[in-house]
Chain A
Amino acid sequence: MAAKEELLKDLAQQKEYLQRSAPEQRVEWRKSLKQLFAQLAGWLDEARASKLLMVENKDVRILEPQLGVYVAPGLRVVTPRGEVVEIVPKGRMIAGGYGRVDLECSPKRAMLVQRSPGRWEFAELTPDQGGWSFRELTEGSFWETLRSLLS
């Protein structure tokens, strides 16, 4: 059965490629996230120290077909009123980028996308089918986003 043999050969090649590349990609991704979350935690430190915000580290379990299961860092930010913003990685293998982290304050959500390695940007869907617009992640844009999520 030629079709069966061809397919099994393709699958074996896929498996071999993933076994080779996945561990390295996971390591790089976890390093990228560690740097990002260290930066975010640094920006939140003053508010945390003044007890204006509660900032907790959390572990996020992620399953991606190409990378398998792994644990990534996340943050939970809680206001004095009890409103919660979860800052959670969504995946490394995203369409059009090198990873995504969401800031979720239900029902609102903001998306941080790593469009090129080491460069994080907020991605917003523009109205009227205009596509996506991007804002570089800076301390200023982070606080603007947080304020928008909590308003």
Chain B
Amino acid sequence: MSLASTAPQPTDILRYYRRSLAALDALKKVVGPSLGVGTMGPTSPFFGMTAREFDVALAELRQELDHQVVLMLTASFEAAFQTDLQDRIKLRKRDHASKALRNWWKSARRRREKWIDLGSLLDAWKNTTGQRQVIGKMKSLLLFRHWLAHGRYWTDKSGLGDVDPFDAWRIGRDVFAVLPGFRPLPAR
């Protein structure tokens, strides 16, 4: 497997999220003054909406943005875990965690697959470091990610409630702060 050098980093995704929130705010400032006057063009999907309908539409946009960014953020966390594992295997790092993960990987992988499901990898980290709580939160986030990624057709079982990107960021930051060898995420 060749690793891409252009995979979006968690900080890239968070930046995209902030910019998108600013875009939603700008949208509100554009539509607001057009209420009750004929200044909106006939191509706008918001044409004809009452103030309340527009508020609902904005809330829906925000909700969908949050969900999509949480999905991307969690995917970027996964990428960090997977590429870290590949490094520890290829470079044969000698620290305790790397040795333990290499040994685990040899028995866990099927045939010659290099990619490991993240849930199992997180369990291996939990057993290696004892960091049950932060890894438990990451596993819950993973469940939420599965719910999003598979079309949300079952009831979300993550136990996290409605996760927004800043919540997901905190979970990622807490994990990468305590696992050896990872670059910590900035505060926000």
Contacts and interface: CB of A to CB of B under 8 A. Distances in A.
Given A65-B51, A100-B48, A113-B48, A95 B34 contact: yes
Interface string B56-72: 00000000000000000
Nearest to A133: B42
B167 to A, nearest CB: 27
A96 B40 contact: yes
Contacts of B34: 95-96
Contacts, number: 73
A65 B53 CA distance: 12
A123 interface: yes
B80 interface: no
Interface stretch (A6-14, A32-40, A75-83, A85-93): A85-93
A113 B34 CA distance: 14
A94 B42 contact: no
A4 B37 CA distance: 31
Interface residues of A, number: 25
Contacts of A111: 48
Interface of B: 31, 34-51, 54
A98 interface: yes
8 contacts: A64-B50, A64-B51, A66-B51, A90-B50, A95-B48, A96-B48, A115-B38, A132-B48
A97 interface: yes
A94 B48 contact: yes
B43 A94 contact: no
A116 B48 CA distance: 13
Given A94-B48, A125-B45, 20 more contacts: A64-B51, A66-B35, A91-B50, A91-B51, A93-B51, A94-B49, A96-B37, A97-B38, A98-B36, A98-B38, A111-B48, A113-B48, A116-B38, A123-B47, A130-B43, A131-B43, A131-B44, A132-B42, A132-B48, A134-B42
Contacts of A131: 41-44
A111 B46 CA distance: 13
